[in-house]
Amino acid sequence: MTLARNWKKWLMLLLIATMLMPLVGPTRSARAAEKTAAQLMPETTVFYAEIAHPDRVLATLLDHPLSKKIQASPEYRQGLKAPQLAPLYGVVDAMELKMDMKWRPMLQKLTDGGLYVGVDIASKGGVLLAKSSDPELPGRFADALADVARQTAAEHGNDNAVERRDYKGIVAYKINKGVHAAVGPWLVISNQGDLARAVADAYLGGQAPSLDDETEFRAARSGRRDGAAGWAYLKMRTLREMGVGREAFANRLNNPGVEFLLGGVLSVLRRADFVTLDLLADDTSLRAAINLPRSEGDIPKARAFYFGPEGEGGAPKPLRPEGTLLNLTMYRDLAAMWNAAPDLFDEDTAAKLAKADTDLSNFFGGRPFGAEILPAIGPRSQLLVVQMPADPDAKGPAPQIKIPAAAFVLQSPNPEKITPFMKVAFQTLIAFANIDGASKGRPTLMLTNEKREAGDLVSAEYLVMPGDKPMANAEVYYNFSPALAISGDTIIIASTKRLAESLMTLAKAQAGQTVKSNTLLEINGAATHQALAANREQLIAQNMIKEGHTREQAEAAINGLLQLVELIKAADVHLTRTDKTLSLELGVQIKPVSE
């Protein structure tokens, strides 16, 4: 009766409670379901990676025409028959039987909420998290995996390989040092029990700081590219504090080659708190971008050669003659690096460079190499490899093995000063080549000096006497007709005269043009395919000798390689520096099915 008389009061209380519920907050289970993988991982996580849509990545890997070609190759099929893979096939078959699902739809459903990996420095462990839209599937998978492991171990006489443990209402399975469990919609797999427990505690509402609580992580995450198929984060500061990569991060590498290629990158990496990776993929391309945050003063004075005094050194615009297979263009002030050797290298390495300076000076008429020659060359350079089109007017010997032409292209701030010494050096090298060739039975290289509309051309070609018949399957050295070309401020050193002529015209047309990237590498798939196809017979013979194959087997292997290369349209690498970041991008373009 009392309740009946006060129904208005109770109704009012119910309405007030309903309105206040959103302010109080969701239940513990609701909060847990909303937590991200980064919120489940401890703050001591040093590496974190995620794939938001594993099903799309899996489809790209398995269903793309390039993948189909690989799967159809004899080498791939033979590799699948390896005895080491037999136990894995047995586990897959057993899991399919227990789950009543084929492995691919099983994995797709198990990971349709994302796939995440973490490495924790405190527990010295790693963890894999898979989130499913089916709340029952992770538990079924965990149980089935434990059953299969138990049966497999029992077949080998071990009846106690799998331990079942309960932790705060969560069923976990321990197999050797590994632990796996279903934690709500998550499948958790770790090689450290402490790390798995930390993930479970975070899911159940624990208050321990997570990776997502870190300011650095959130700042890094905010820079993730839209549409990225995958993203990764690495705490560089923590690794440096642990002494990881101490030699690589040192100011002195004592390796001139590594210093020239990577010195500036290593300086930024030495000061960066973290590194991120963006992975972008679709049906025709795959791109990965490695990003480093920059800070003021991250490039020491001795390494100013890498990006330039103001840090804005851009590479020269690539020259792209017909048949270009590879093009590497960069900004590197070799003169500044050479003269900073005492600050960049130890005494032994610096002494070797000083000796090299003296030896190289002899090629340039005794002019000091580091003090006079290099400063006159300039910081912008290109390396090209070109599969030259067939020459319809060729009358000389045709080499059996066909090597693509190559060229090194320099931009000089003072071409008038450097040109005479470059010619002296070129003539000296040809003289040495003739002396060496005479002792080995090679014909003489004949020098020719020409004035062209685009500039000066000095070339050397093997002497062919009047009446000599054209030779087929000639020696490999007939691929070369070295040349030096000077076109405006451009210096071209090429392995063939034809390539030098082609580059002279292009260099004049785009003189002084640069790109934003500090370093740019381009690889052309069609030209690479042409270069390999031109040497198909030699590749088959080499395969027969090296692998012991019959000709039929070798032909199948080389034809498969050519088909794979034919599907690659292009590849490229960009190193770009801005005020806030240093970005290294790597990309591969694949021909669409229609092509």
In this prediction, residue 560 has a pLDDT band, given cuts at 50, 70 and 90, of: confident
| Residues 46 and 157 reside in one and the same domain | yes
| Residues 320 and 207 reside in one and the same domain | no
Cβ-based neighbour number of residue 88 at 10 Å: 10
| Residues 317 and 193 reside in one and the same domain | no
Yes or no: say if 491 and 410 are a contact pair by the CB < 8 Å rule: yes
| Residues 398 and 506 reside in one and the same domain | yes
| Residues 433 and 581 reside in one and the same domain | yes
Residue where a domain stops, chosen among 197, 213, 229: 213
Whether 278 has a pLDDT exceeding 70, the answer reads yes
β-strands 581-590, 285-293: how paired? antiparallel
Tokens 């000091």 — which residue?
368
- Positive or negative, the Cα torsion across 232, 584, 217, 121? positive
Tokens 């063939």 — which residue?
496
Yes or no: say if 437 and 445 are a contact pair by the CB < 8 Å rule: yes
**Measured distance CA(292)–CA(272) in Å, rounded:** 6
In this prediction, residue 251 has a pLDDT band, given cuts at 50, 70 and 90, of: low
Spatial CA neighbour of 117 closest among 189, 183, 67? 189
In this prediction, residue 450 has a pLDDT band, given cuts at 50, 70 and 90, of: very high
Angle of helix 137-155 versus helix 103-110 axis, rounded to 10: 130
Task: Give the model's pLDDT for residue 594.
Answer: 55
pLDDT, tens digit (0-9, with 9 covering 90-100), for 58-70: 887 788 777 777 7
Structure tokens that stand for 585 in this block: 């991008």
Q: What is the mean pLDDT of residues 535-552?
A: 91
Asked, for residue 376, whether it belongs to a domain, the answer is yes
| Residues 188 and 327 reside in one and the same domain | no
pLDDT, tens digit (0-9, with 9 covering 90-100), for 337-353: 999 998 898 889 999 99
**Measured distance CA(450)–CA(219) in Å, rounded:** 60
Spatial CA neighbour of 138 closest among 93, 189, 104? 189
Whether 415 has a pLDDT exceeding 80, the answer reads yes
Asked, for residue 144, whether it belongs to a domain, the answer is yes
Task: Give the model's pLDDT for residue 20.
Answer: 37
Structure tokens that stand for 488 in this block: 């405006």
Residue where a domain stops, chosen among 186, 213, 240: 213
pTM, to two decimals: 0.84
Identify the residue with better confidence: 48 or 151. 48
pLDDT, tens digit (0-9, with 9 covering 90-100), for 230-244: 999 999 989 888 888
| Residues 201 and 310 reside in one and the same domain | no
| Residues 449 and 579 reside in one and the same domain | yes
Whether 393 has a pLDDT exceeding 90, the answer reads no
Tokens 């991120």 — which residue?
276
Beta bridge mates, 383: 328, 408
- Positive or negative, the Cα torsion across 211, 215, 220, 221? positive
Q: What is the mean pLDDT of residues 5-20?
A: 39
In this prediction, residue 454 has a pLDDT band, given cuts at 50, 70 and 90, of: confident
Asked, for residue 266, whether it belongs to a domain, the answer is no
In this prediction, residue 25 has a pLDDT band, given cuts at 50, 70 and 90, of: very low
| Residues 205 and 308 reside in one and the same domain | no
Identify the residue with better confidence: 27 or 515. 515
Asked, for residue 261, whether it belongs to a domain, the answer is no
Tokens 């076109």 — which residue?
487
Domain carrying residue 178: 26-213
Structure tokens that stand for 214 in this block: 């870190």
| Residues 196 and 331 reside in one and the same domain | no
Please, what is the average pLDDT of the chain? 87
Structure tokens that stand for 33 in this block: 């379901």
Tokens 């007709």 — which residue?
481
Spatial CA neighbour of 476 closest among 543, 396, 403? 403
**Measured distance CA(483)–CA(131) in Å, rounded:** 61
% the chain with pLDDT above 90: 55
| Residues 435 and 539 reside in one and the same domain | yes
Whether 81 has a pLDDT exceeding 90, the answer reads no
Spatial CA neighbour of 317 closest among 331, 337, 307, 335? 331
* Residue 463 backbone zone (phi > 0: left; psi -120 to 50: alpha; other: beta): beta
Residue where a domain stops, chosen among 213, 245, 267: 213
Asked, for residue 506, whether it belongs to a domain, the answer is yes
Asked, for residue 174, whether it belongs to a domain, the answer is yes
Identify the residue with better confidence: 474 or 133. 133
Asked, for residue 243, whether it belongs to a domain, the answer is no
Yes or no: say if 507 and 302 are a contact pair by the CB < 8 Å rule: no
Whether 122 has a pLDDT exceeding 50, the answer reads yes
Task: Give the model's pLDDT for residue 566.
Answer: 87
Cβ-based neighbour number of residue 165 at 10 Å: 12
Q: What is the mean pLDDT of residues 529-534?
A: 92
Asked, for residue 334, whether it belongs to a domain, the answer is yes
Whether 260 has a pLDDT exceeding 50, the answer reads yes
Quote the number of domains for the chain.
2
Task: Give the model's pLDDT for residue 467.
Answer: 60
